[in-house]
Amino acid sequence: MLVELTQPASLSAEAANGHSQWQQWLNSSVKRLADASLLRSLHPVCTTLSPVEVDLSSVALKEWLDSIAPSSGSASTCLTSQASQGSIRLKLFSLNDYMGLSQHPAICRAAGDTAVQCGMGPRSSALVGGYTRQHQDLEASLATLKGTEDCLLFSSGFAANLAVVSALCQGPDAVIFSDALNHASIIDGCRLAVRSKGALQVYRHNDMAHLEELLQACPASKRKLVITDSLFSMDGDFADLHGLVALRRRYGFALALDEAHATLVAGDRGGGAAEMFGVASEVDIHIGTLSKGFGSHGGFVAGSSALKSFLMNRGRSYVFSTALPLPAVAAAQAAIIVCQQEPQRRQNLWDRVQQLGDLLGVAVQSPIIPLVVGDEAAALAASALLLRKGFHVPAIRPPTVPKHTSRLRVSLSAAHTADDIRSLAAAIKECNLRFLPMDQVLGMPASLRPGSSKM
């Protein structure tokens, strides 16, 4: 669908020309995305009582299939006939609800009770009037989980990364060292910092030798920040945290860790990858989200009280955002309690990870399991075939991942059962794919990659 701008009844010649330029630019931009098969679309689903299952109408399903593999007309017709009752149920292997908490009764009850008692809470930025005792209590709980002095809530994990990098690394005396595969929110934070005269160095993914070369070349007078995802969202591998800590001791930089995909998932208490690898006390800045393992919404930064004070005054994505709605705050607080009371949920998640790895014969490190096929068309066709069988496993392709590394990205949840995993593995095997080893894809020796058995 081409984009149209609303045009006033009467415009000057100059204004009409400007309007036309914008409309032409929007239309041509959308067309270029469509021609490159990069135009994304939305596919509305109907939720169920399971955090890993949704219902989808037959019409929406056919549109979804056509958007993945337009040439598979007969196959999509076959599936539509299966959905003659009006909808089919999809098993989702595409979400970030790693602990299966988004529909846990205690989390739903906490959010619902809070909505009835408090509504959404004060609708204002936290600094003006939106900060409540509930926000303060959740910050204290997150600081305890991360083993830090204090914590600051954000509207999202994206906003948290944006604030950390852009606020801390302003000025010509600041240098950022960022992993090449870091999340887009970190990249955008780096771009803002560079606009404020900070410097940026990008080191090859998990390559500690390359990072050390860059650190050695950096003047000792510079303020240095090294930032990395702890668990990488497209490759499912962990940062070399022991290597990073060793370099931190040698070069004295501040270490920031984005634990978006690892908080509540990794570590004996769910403290994240830093806890799992025993280095939590040597991480200066712990960044996270409440929308993945917590099953809620929002973000946070945990660290020193001085860090909190600075970010709440200089982090623009904090200062100029409305405080988190209280039902989301209550849900996140309840998620921490549930994970403390039900440690078997984390064990179940890691059992499912190992089960799928064993069934497919692939090495696994985390609940994010990339099945790299290389060819883009093959990945799309496999994703469409799995969708026809009732499994949503997205195909990830360039530019999200490098050329020739297109993949199926499987993400697992504690809500998946052993039968779910067996059914998925059987369906994947029917795709007749050959998976590339992740060591080859990442271009790094296996000795540098953390073992999959650790929790």
Q: 3-state SS string over the chain? A: CCCCCCCCCCCCHHHHHHHHHHHHHHHHHHHHHHHCCCCCCCCCCEECCCCCEEEEEHHHHHHHHHHHCCCCHHHHHHHHHHCCCCEEEEEECCCCCCCCCCCCHHHHHHHHHHHHHHCCCCCCEHHHHHCCHHHHHHHHHHHHHHCCCEEEEECCHHHHHHHHHHHHCCCCCEEEEEECCCCHHHHHHHHHHHHCCCEEEEECCCCHHHHHHHHHCCCCCCEEEEEEECECCCCCCECCHHHHHHHHHHHCCEEEEECCCCCCCCCCCCCCHHHHCCCHHHCCEEEEECCCCCCCCCEEEEECHHHHHHHHHHCHHHHCCECCCHHHHHHHHHHHHHHHHCCHHHHHHHHHHHHHHHHHCCCCCCCEEEEEEECHHHHHHHHHHHHHCCEECCEECCCCCCCCCEEEEEECCCCCCHHHHHHHHHHHHCCCCCCCCHHHHHCCCHHHCCCCCCC
Q: How far apart are the two ends of the chain, measured CA to CA in Å?
A: 47
- Of 185, 230, 233, 366, which one is the catalytic site residue? 233
Instruction: Specify the pairing of strand 395-396 against strand 406-411.
Output: antiparallel
Which residues have C-beta within 8 Å of that of residue 260, sequence separation ≥ 6? 157, 183, 229, 231, 233, 287, 288, 289, 292
- Of 292, 389, 392, 416, which one is the catalytic site residue? 292
pLDDT along the chain (455 residues), means of 10: 56 77 93 89 91 92 84 47 68 97 97 97 96 98 98 98 97 97 96 96 96 97 98 96 98 98 97 98 98 98 98 97 98 98 97 98 96 94 95 94 93 98 97 87 48 30
- Of 261, 297, 389, 416, which one is the catalytic site residue? 261
The pLDDT assigned to 152 comes to 98
The pLDDT assigned to 356 comes to 98
The pLDDT assigned to 443 comes to 67
The pLDDT assigned to 282 comes to 98
Q: How far apart are CA 264 and CA 292, in angstroms?
A: 9
- What is the side-by-side strand order in the sheet with 299-303? 150-154, 299-303, 285-289, 254-258, 223-229, 174-179, 199-203
Residue with tokens 């949920």: 345
| 205 a catalytic residue | no
Closest CA to 204 of 443, 447, 453: 443
Instruction: Answer for the pair 328, 297: CB distance below 8 angstroms, yes or no.
Output: yes
| 230 a catalytic residue | no
The pLDDT assigned to 287 comes to 98
Instruction: Answer for the pair 299, 290: CB distance below 8 angstroms, yes or no.
Output: yes
| 104 a catalytic residue | no
Closest CA to 56 of 299, 335, 321, 390: 390
pTM above 0.85, yes or no: yes
What's CA 382's distance to the chain center, in Å? Answer: 23
